[in-house]
Every structure is written in structure tokens, then in C-alpha cells.
Amino acid sequence: MSRPSPSLETPLLQHITLRDKEAPQKIRKLQRCFVLTGKRSMHYNRHSLVSLELIGESGVGEILITGGAGYIGSHIVKRLLEKGMQIIVLDNLQTGHREAIIGGTFIQGDIGNERILSEIFGVHEIDSVIHMAADCLVGDSTKDPLKYFNNNVSKGIKLLGVMLKHKVKKIVFSSSAAVYGNPPRVPIEEDFPPFPINPYGETKLIFEKLLEGCKVAHGLQYISLRYFNAAGADPDGRIGEDHHPETHLIPTVLRALLRKGRKVPIYGTDYDTPDGTCIRDYIHILDIAEAHISALEALHAGVESEIFNLGNGQGFSVKQIIQAASKVTGRTIPVIETQRRPGDPPILVASSEKIEKKLGWSPRHEKLDEIIDTAWRWHRTHPHGFRSSSLKKGVARWT
């Protein structure tokens, strides 16, 4: 049978949108006469051209996730897939892991490469972006600020440029509570004046300003999420935190149990806190993933651009983390008490009141034991991170 080309001479163009609940059945039926071309399927006969589009329950179309092979990105990817959403991950794997992406379309490439970006936005019908890709080590940023401004700002500008060129105007940005520097009091609210004290925090703040500029000039809709320490892992134990070097406290504590001879340093025991050690805000990775998805859905529902903090509602001291880890694992954590680190404020905790009021998000996995238990499940079964279960899968590789 010869097929007419999908052009203006086609007498009827019908567009069917299927919600994912009803999709499997209908698709099977339609597949018999449809030529499947990825997301969009075309059925041609003499009288009609039918285009079939699959969209998630929330009305969100195809989503590009930059940095989706990273710790937080991979958990967002998993949750989006569970919700039946269509995703494309762009990641150069500089710190991410191919094995961490459990589904969707993966493209290995750099967010600073406009050719790749144009191809992706040209081929896929992306209507929103979750931007996670970044360099994100505070200490490293003080040693090599240019790397941070290049990746987190200059390359981010390229991403925004190509998005706007393709009329993609919704973005959720993974910012950081590092934009606040040393806040005047806690819990930190969004209207506290940002005053970053390291290049990493500076780059996050600059990117937020770029988003605001693009909102005013080009109608970009954005939600920027500021938070401190992501922690824990997906409870099914397939993905988790695998950073090299590891600078976060909870994985450092758990890894010390798995690698003989390691001790956990406690930097300062004379702070003005109940047990003398620093108090920090830890949010479960599932809550962070949920917040990004809620933000995306809010943008699609027409919520105005906003900046929101994500906080656990309470902070935990270094000693509380160590005690909880000891309880969860049933082992004694080897520690070494040492001097304060310069510039470490005693308490950093973010208020989540604004996002709770406006988007209805609040942490659901806020208990320290749960956070540590899920992290332990991952570390215990993956003592060498993703290398423990390394699979080399074929990927579309771009340079």
C-alpha cells in the first residue's frame, strides 16, 4: 500500500492524546495500523492522518533531564518513569553513572554542546527541562572557580539559548541553599538576602538570575529549588549515591564501615549546639525527586515562576548522624575528633513553609533512621558503588 506523505493535502488531521492508564490497550489496537515513530505514531489512509501522542497523567510531555545519571538525577528519572512519563537524559558522565539510569532515552553528551542540544530539541518533542547537570563540590569550587563558572553558568546559558530557540519555556532548576552563605538566622527563608561564600554557591545564584532575566525577556517559566544535603537512596536498593570523592557525611560514615581503617572526622565539637557538633539539613532523595516533579507539574498547571527552599523541617548534628548510623547498622562507627573547618556555620536548616503552602510539598521521609537505612541498603549491597554491578550497555555517544 502506498502512503501519502503527511502534508497539507491530507484531508483530515486528527490528534489523539492518550493518558497512560488507557494507553497500553489502545496502543496495541492502534499499532496494527500505525507506523510507530517513537513518541508520535502516524496512520495514513486516503482520508485521514491520525497522530497519536502519549502524555503522562499530569499533562506533562517529553522531559529532558540534564545530569540524569547523577545521584539526584537518577532518582528523579526513576520516579518519572514510575509515573509513566517520557524522558530523555543528557549526561556527559563526568560524575554520573550509565548504570544509574534505569530507563528512558539516554544520550551521552555535554550540555555545553549546542549541536547535540539542537539535535535533541529538534528530534524529540520536549516541552520541559529539569536541569541537574553541574559541578557541585564546594571545596573544589574554591580551588578551580573557572571550571564552575564554565559548567554551571556558561554551559547553562547554551542550554537556555537552545531551549528558547525551540520554544521550550519550562524549566525546573536544581539550585542550592549554598546561595545563602552564612544566613543571619535559621530556619532560612527564601527572602533572606543571598550571599554565597564560595564560587559554587555563586554560580547557582547567577543561574537563577539568568532564569529571571529570561522570564522577563522571553516568557520562560521556571522553578528553582534550593536545598542543602540530599541523602538516602531509593528503597529498592538499585540506585544510590556514588561520588568520587565523597564529601557528604552520611555516605562517608557508611563507607567507613565497609572499608577497614577509615575513620569519620568530626570537625569541631565546641559549637553552640546541644552536643557541640554542627547541625545540618538532610533531605531524603525521594522527597527531593518528588519536589522536582511537583515543581514541573506546577509549571504545567500555570504556576508562576518561583524560588522554593526544600528543607527537612529539622536539622541533625554530626553526632546524631553517627549515633543513628550505629543504631541502623548495628556497628560502632570509627570517628576522629578534629579542629573546626574555617567558614562552617553551627546550624544550617532551610524552611519549607513556602513550597508547602504553594505546591503542597512537604518531606515524607524525614526520619533520620529511614534516611540512613535506605542509604545503608545501597552501600551494603554496592560497596564499590555502581562498579559493584557494572554493566556496559550500548549508548548513543556524542563528542
Query: Which region among 68-76, 164-172, 350-358, 386-394 touches ligand NAD (by CB under 6 A)?
Result: 68-76
Which position among 62, 99, 110, 287 is part of the footprint of ligand NAD (CB under 6 A)?
A: 110
Residues 116-145 within binding reach of ligand NAD (CB under 6 A): 132-134, 136
For 301, residues 6+ apart whose C-beta sits below 8 A from its C-beta are 59
**Which three-class secondary structure string do you get for 180-191?**
HCCCCCCCECCC
Least Å distance between CB 113 and ligand NAD? 8
Residues 140-169 within binding reach of ligand NAD (CB under 6 A): 151, 155
Alpha-carbon distance of 65 to 359, in angstroms, equals 21
Alpha-carbon distance of 262 to 40, in angstroms, equals 53
Which position among 56, 61, 67, 311 is part of the footprint of ligand NAD (CB under 6 A)?
A: 67
Q: Is 73 in the site for ligand NAD (CB under 6 A)?
A: yes
Say if residues 58 and 83 touch (Cβ distance below 8 Å): yes
Say if residues 187 and 151 touch (Cβ distance below 8 Å): no
Q: Is 58 in the site for ligand NAD (CB under 6 A)?
A: no
- Tell me the number of residues near ligand NAD by CB under 6 A: 29
Question: What is the rounded radius of gyration, in angstroms, for the C-alpha atoms of the chain?
Answer: 23
| Residue of 44, 148, 180, 200 with catalytic role | 200
Q: Is 112 in the site for ligand NAD (CB under 6 A)?
A: yes
CA distances from 228 to 175, 197, 370 (A): 10, 14, 18
Least Å distance between CB 279 and ligand NAD? 16
Residues 239-298 within binding reach of ligand NAD (CB under 6 A): 243
Whether 180 is catalytic? no
> Which of 63, 51, 69 is CA-nearest to residue 242?
69
**For residue 48, which phi and psi values (nearest 5 degrees)?**
-145, 155
Residues with a known catalytic role = 200
Where does this chain bind ligand NAD (CB under 6 A)? 66-67, 69-73, 90-96, 110-112, 132-134, 136, 151, 155, 174, 176, 227, 229-230, 243
